[in-house]
Structure 1
Amino acid sequence: MPDDLQLPQLMPGQLLARGVSRHLRSHDFVSVEELVPTPGLRVDVMGLGPKGEIWVVECKSSRADFQSDSKWDGYLEWCDRFFWAVDTDFPTELLPEGTGLIIADAYDAEIIRMGPESKLAPARRKVMIQKFARHAAVRAQAARDPGMVVLF
């Protein structure tokens, strides 16, 4: 089944996450979607780089989606770099200064502004890499066995 046949089933933010994840692969990052770093927060896309770098990308599909998000700054302590991912029609002047910017669609993305680096402490990095690995493993297992109960 061609990849494009499944696109209409995805929500706008999921389409952005798809393009972002594809682009992160071109930077040798692997990614997961909807990872919970701590109770009350859910990251849209978390990328893990070849040297253990952790990037968080928040996908915003509209002005209303952005304005309803009051938790984004809580993600900063869980990553080395933070980015917003939006489409070409998004009013980027709304996005806070000092954050990364990615323009994306369902097929790819481009980093317009690199998020400033704020390195995680080694203990926090270890915890996040373990959460990333477990999240990815559970998702892979659920894809192979759709009847399996997934607990996060």
Structure 2
Amino acid sequence: MCDEPPIPLPALPGQRLARGVARMLAGLDHAVLPEFVPARGLRVDLISLGPKGEIWIIECKSCRADFAGDRKWQGYLDWCDRYFWAVDCDFPAELLPGESGLILADPYGAEIQRMAPEARLAGARRNRLMRDFGRAAALRLHRLQDPQGVSGGAF
């Protein structure tokens, strides 16, 4: 049996939260993509595609200033069936809007504290998102396998 070195933790606090949330979502049988662009000018921390085609967006906030500086989050609501905030146990959760979901996370896992209300996407938007999600995932995988072999695509 070979001993492989442990995978290092991401450097930034928000990326550490995203790692824990992605692990939880994978446990719920969701496919997860970090740093996804659903539309020009928007970049979500995590987007997930559930086993029944549901689309969740999760924004990871590492501190009060990170949340206060986020002016785009309301634009994300039109691009998902459920919207969540992910924070650590020290974050002042009372700052977060109550009409969204809440996930408590650390680099190793996460737990849903408050389920986000469902607002089902229109069929055309869902189809576009699923196509873009699939393309982004495939292009990222290809880049990992052959970094010089992929050109184009902003994924």
TM-score normalized by the length of structure 2: 0.92
Q: CA deviation at 1:151?
A: 3.5
The residue correspondences of 1:37-116 to structure 2 (distance < 5 A) are 37-116=38-117
Q: 2:144 aligns to what?
A: 143
Q: CA deviation at 1:65?
A: 0.5
Q: 1:130 aligns to what?
A: 131
Which of the pair has more CA radius of gyration?
A: 2
The answer (yes or no) to whether the contact 1:138–1:150 under 8 Å persists in 2 is no
Quick check: 1:16 aligned with 2:47? no
Q: What amino acid sits opposite 2:110 in the alignment?
A: A
CA distance in 2, matches of 1:60, 1:21: 14
Q: What amino acid sits opposite 1:151 in the alignment?
A: G
TM-score normalized by the length of structure 1: 0.94
Q: What amino acid sits opposite 1:53 in the alignment?
A: E
Gaps of 5+ in 2: none
Higher mean C-alpha displacement, 140-149 vs 124-133: 140-149
Structure with more helix by fraction: 1
1:14-59: CA deviation from partner (whole Å, max 9, x where unpaired):
1111111100011111100111000000010001001110000000
Q: CA deviation at 1:94?
A: 0.4
CA distance in 1, matches of 2:151, 2:59: 27
Q: Residues 64, 141 of structure 1: CA spacing in aligned structure 2 closer, same or farther, 3 A cutoff?
A: same
Corresponding residue pairs, total: 150
The answer (yes or no) to whether the contact 1:45–1:56 under 8 Å persists in 2 is yes
